[in-house]
Structures are given as C-alpha cells and as structure tokens.
Amino acid sequence: MTRICLTILITLLTACASQQQTKSQLANYVGRNIESAISELGRPSQVRDMGDGTIEYVWKRESRSTTTANTSVMGIPLSKALGSKCVKTLIADQTRRVVSHRIFGC
C-alpha cells in the first residue's frame, strides 16, 4: 500500500512540475509575434477566428499507453489503458501579437 501511495505522489509531483514548465513556456510567447510560437511548437492543430479581432491557435497532443497493475484475477495480471491529453492555446490580436495563453491537461 505504501508503495502505491508513493508512486501516486511522485506521479502527481511530476505532473505539477511539467504543467508549470508548460505554463512558463507559453507565457514567454505573450507580447511576441505568433510566428515565433509556430516556428518552435510546430503547425497548430486548429486555428479559429474568435470574431472579436483575436485568433486562437491550438496545439493538441494525445497519448495512450497500457500498464499492468500489481493485482491479478485468478493469476491473470490486470492491465489498464491510460491516456493523456495536452492542449496548448495561444490567443493573438489583429497584429498577430500573442496576448494570452491557456493550457489543459499538460
């Protein structure tokens, strides 16, 4: 039980550190031309005109993996499909300057 709790704690701490790093990365684009973000992050998954003079640029990444739990049923190990989704969003104004950012699940 202690081993499971420790594994969960390490996973959560790692996820928080990773999310903070992603927030910092996106914050560095604020005030810069969107082209600098595109050159570093690659082509966005979606580009949407927000109708208020701003354009939303979205980068999505999904991953799936399978893990085997430490438990079994009648000697057969249980496996669980895990998935994660990371969505990075930058909002640019009419001059193509980044004015804000958001992240989800990174």
Give the mean model confidence (pLDDT) for residues 47-72: 83
Cβ-contact 32, 91 below 8 angstroms: no
Give the mean model confidence (pLDDT) for residues 11-18: 45
Cβ-contact 94, 53 below 8 angstroms: yes
Distance between CA atoms of residues 42 and 74, nearest Å: 48
Distance spanning both ends of the chain, measured CA to CA: 28
pTM equals 0.66
Distance between CA atoms of residues 50 and 57, nearest Å: 10
Res. 106 pLDDT band, cuts 50 70 90: confident
Backbone angles phi, psi at 43, to 5 degrees: -65, 130
Range with the lowest mean pLDDT among 8-17, 61-70, 92-101? 8-17
Over 80: is that where the pLDDT of 49 sits? Answer: yes
pLDDT at residue 87, as a whole number: 96
Retrieve residue 7's tokens.
């594994």
pLDDT at residue 12, as a whole number: 35
